[in-house]
Amino acid sequence: QLQLQESGPGLVKPSETLSLTCTLSGGSITSGDYFWGWIRQPPGKGLEWVGSLFYTGTSYYNPSLKTRVTSSVDTSKNQFSLKLSSVTAADTAVYFCVRLVFRGGNYFDPWGPGIQVTVSS
Amino acid sequence: QSALTQPRSVSGSPGQSVTISCTGTSSDVGTYNFVSWYQQHPGKAPKLMIYDVSERPSGVPHRFSGSKSGHTASLTISGLQAEDEAEYYCCSYAGSYTWVFGGGTKVTVL
């Protein structure tokens, strides 16, 4: 059964770049049936789709974050990563990595447990 | 890309039914039958409850059902149970490989 696990710094300074990695176990990131993605949740607020990517590197981002987000895949490590530049306090959130099913359905499942990232000096 | 609109909260007694609405636009809910619903308990990751408007993943109780009419999707919980108390989020495909979530609805079991 596929499991996802986020990792990265829990504290990032304003104006710096947030970097997170999601590691897969129990499944391959090179499966052509899925996208992989990031969803975040600011404290006490709702969910926000950040972006999704295919194992080839093709990626799509939330228009509101597009100028600051990049993502990549490392097939040798069965991982994908997120970078968010020029962060501010508004980027403080729990970040979840997810698998995006887009064939035979359109949904996010499973989810990683999430990682709290705080932007503060 | 604006968030889908959900009521802040709904409540019901055990055994009753509650329905959560999720209103979008012609750019998302109104065009695509790709609405999914997620249940989130405090401090936990969201869990898929419904996908493609009305499909229920294996393991999700039959008391959870979904539907859509026009620009509004709905999640109904029939026979409310104590463990159903949680936050619920809808999500819709919005075209061009983008997705949008609702603001979330707190379900309280009285």
Residues of A near B (Cβ–Cβ under 8 Å) read: 35, 39, 46-49, 52, 60, 62-64, 96, 101, 105-114
Tell me which residue has tokens 């607020």.
A45
Tell me the C-alpha distance between B98 and A61, whole Å.
7
- Report the pLDDT value the prediction gives residue A85, as an integer from 0 to 100: 98
Under-50 pLDDT residues of chain A: none
Residue A45 three-state SS? coil
Is any Cβ of chain A less than 8 angstroms from the Cβ of B37?
A: no
Query: What's the token pair of residue A117?
Result: 């990232």
Subunit contact B51:A96, Cβ cutoff 8 A: no
pLDDT at B2: 86
B67 at A interface, C-beta within 8 A? no
Counting one residue from A and one from B, how many pairs have CB atoms under 8 Å apart?
64
Exposure pattern of B17-52 as b/e (b: 16+ CB <10 Å)? ebebbbbbbebbbbebebbbbbbbeeeebbbbbbbb
Q: What integer pLDDT is reported at residue A104 of this predicted model?
A: 80
| pLDDT (tens digit per residue) in A41-51 | 999 999 999 99
What confidence score (pLDDT) does residue A110 get? 97
pLDDT of the residue at A112: 98
Strand partners, A25: A3
| Ranges of chain B with pLDDT below 70 | none
Report chain B residues whose CB lies below 8 A from the CB of A113. Answer: 44-45
**Probe site for chain B from A39, A47, A115 (most B CB atoms < 10 A):** A47
Measured CA to CA, the distance from residue B54 to residue B65 in angstroms comes to 6
